[in-house]
Chain A
Amino acid sequence: MLIFTLRRLNLFIFTFIVLTALSFSLSYLFPGDTLINLTGQVNASPKQRLFLIEEYQYNSNVFKQYWAYLGHLADGDLGISISSHTPISYEIMNLLPATIELSVVALFIAMIIGIPIGFIAAINHEKLTDKAILSISMLGYSIPIFWLGLLAILVFSIQLGWLPSAGRISLVYEIEHITGIQFIDILISDNPYKWQAFQDATLHIIMPACVVAIAPMTIFIRLARTSMIEVLDSSYITAAKTKGLTFWQIIYRHAIRNSLVNVIRHVGLQFANLVTLAMVTEVIFSWPGIGRWLIESIFQRDYTAIQGGLLALSSFIFIVHMLTDFIYAALNPLARDRKHGA
């Protein structure tokens, strides 16, 4: 496990260098003045500009500039937004939790519904149930998400009127921003109406989370199905059968556990996909997350924001990736000895 951890740490450092270098080089790639792209100080006076040039080592070579950039990153300084002049790190702190909330809820929905359905398909392998589940799951990952979101709004908010169509919570409730994760904020607030607020927030998240969850769910169905079929084919299941266990005993005691381990391995890979879907969904449902903010930043040519957003979002995804890798390695001793990334 120690060697595994060291190897992962190595990868982590490498990834961090690549991501920051990518984000740093964006200020050169974006149109316009490099220093303005990097800092977001559009209206800097000549004196301020001199100060910034000194700060970011703008007159030295690229490596020194990159080093200065890293120093600013370490202080949590990502520059200020070109359009709104608020610090990027402050905006990200406000917006990223909303995206995390949406994607985590969606991930749970996808896993809780997708994995059991996949197991059912695998148990009925090559039968009608299996084929029906596979065809429906094909539909699920072919559907364009923005279209699905629009249809969901039309049916559930406009025609049936069951669920609200936009935002995180009704404006009636005033919830103090502490952790940024709305549900936790509501629970720790001392608002007399916090249960109503909680209900309202739940109603708001159902539809966007379900829309985001559809495509990953179908992928979980397929993953769970393949891994269950593999497990049911293995020799320890045959051994359990010869021991005289009934079919359901085998499924509960041996098959589900072993196939779940394989599914968990893919959660990290699916997460990048899920965040992409969440970004589009945020636009449709006016969810105040980082995806919507990034897309608006493009229209406003707010390059500092795009740079910071890219860095924040991809490091978040990479951290989730690493976490699932660790969980997988902790659960499955076989994975620790294997060479990773070599």
Chain B
Amino acid sequence: MARENIYQEEEFPSPLLQLWYNFKEKPFIMLAFSCSLALVFLAIFAPIITPFSSSQSHLDHILLPPAWNNDGNVSFLLGTDQLGRDMLSMLMHGASFTFGLSFIIVITSAIIGVVIGSLSALTSGFKSSFLNHFLDVILSIPSLLLAIVIVAILGTGLSNTVLAIIIVLIPQFIHTTRNEVKKEFSKDYVLASKLDGASPLRLLRYSIFPNILEKIITQATLAQSAAILDIAALGFLGLGAPTYIPEWGTMVANGIDLFYIAPWTVYFPGFAILFAVIATNLVGEGLRHALKLRKEH
């Protein structure tokens, strides 16, 4: 009998590993994945690697255009703003605010949402129906409006924005987790371990979570791009980060007055937001595609 495999060893990848194999097949998605890894790197190490501090103003280089312009200066690669702060350094610092905080937001709200969602999936009857309707109502309020109301309660500022967006994102996670857990609960393999005498919490931990983890991760990538856009939008509206923090949305708002004479102060932060959101969305897209492929196997 001909052996098609040279190696005797056969590999049975775990579900998560299989997901990774499917995920890394598309070069484009891998590019986006490495971009978001680079952003994570920037978010952590920005204070060490930036050429200047984000608050240091160079008073003799105010509103310097980017380096490729005739009036540009190569030590300020992307130009400076109206206070003579280096755009490149500000953008790099901004990664830790806009992109880095979105990670913290998503992880926190995912943990809270998953815990509440899975516990609520175990309940039934009136309590369950009440929660479902309540979530429907909350989800029908626009996320930004809810965030604005929460900011109005807590006061403006970056930490309050973060808290507001965490609260806004929780219902989505509850909803997804709840639906997925309910779906898994009706499957036969769960019934099998139930017959073995497993308690509901044990069922959740050993039978259900490994199978719904990817769904939650996919939801998390969606939530992350929403979080980035929301942080930036609140920053832009002046409800989020104060003007001295180089958050990308705030930077766009700072540049508006000078839009016509110094368009780069608006272009670059906008591009940075766009770049971060596209990278996140592509990673999410890749994950969903890989999930679909694995299901078809």
Contact = CB atoms under 8 A, between A and B. Distances in A.
B143 to A, nearest CB: 6
Interface in B231-245: 232-233, 236-239
Interface stretch (B69-77, B114-122, B147-155): B147-155
A317 interface: yes
A183 B29 CA distance: 46
B136 interface: yes
Nearest to A306: B152
A279 B144 CA distance: 9
B266 interface: yes
B206 to A, nearest CB: 29
A143 B274 contact: yes
A154 B261 CA distance: 11
Contacts of B140: 15, 272, 314, 317-318, 321
Contact of A299 (B238, B273, B274): B238
A24 B129 CA distance: 23
B166 to A, nearest CB: 17
Interface string A23-35: 0001001110000
Interface stretch (A61-69, A76-84, A145-153, A251-259): A145-153
B237 A18 contact: no
A283 B237 contact: yes
B225 A280 contact: no
Contact of B285 (A29, A138, A321, A342): A138
Contact of B239 (A19, A146, A298): A298
Contacts of B225: 142
Identify whether the interface residues of A are mostly helix, strand, loop, or mixed. Answer: helix
B233 A280 contact: yes
B127 interface: no
A314 B141 contact: yes
A310 B145 CA distance: 7
A326 to B, nearest CB: 15
A195 interface: no
Contact-residue bracket for chain B: 35 or more
Contacts of A272: 139-143
A78 to B, nearest CB: 15
B273 A342 contact: no
Contact of B263 (A11, A138, A154, A275): A154
Most chain B CB inside 10 Å of its own CB: which residue of A154, A276, A283:
A276
B134 interface: yes
A26 B149 contact: yes
Contact of B259 (A15, A31, A150): A150
Interface of B: 129, 132-134, 136-137, 139-145, 148-149, 151-153, 155-156, 225, 229, 232-233, 236-239, 249, 252, 256, 259-260, 263, 266, 269-270, 273-274, 277-278, 281-282, 285
A275 B143 CA distance: 10
Interface string A182-199: 000000000000000000
Interface string A296-334: 011100010010001001100110010000000000000
B145 A138 contact: no
Contacts of B137: 14-15, 18-19, 318
Contacts of A109: none
Nearest to B278: A142
- The 5 A-B pairs of least Cβ separation, nearest first, read A147-B270, A276-B142, A142-B277, A276-B144, A142-B278
B142 A273 contact: yes
Contacts of A276: 142-145
B278 A295 contact: no
B36 to A, nearest CB: 13
A53 interface: no
A266 to B, nearest CB: 13
A295 B263 contact: no
A154 B277 contact: no
Most chain B CB inside 10 Å of its own CB: which residue of A150, A151, A294:
A150
A138 B143 CA distance: 21
B141 A280 contact: no
Interface string A1-32: 00000000001001100110000001001110
18 contacts: A15-B137, A18-B137, A29-B153, A138-B278, A143-B274, A144-B232, A146-B232, A146-B249, A150-B256, A154-B260, A279-B144, A295-B237, A306-B148, A306-B152, A310-B141, A314-B141, A314-B142, A318-B140
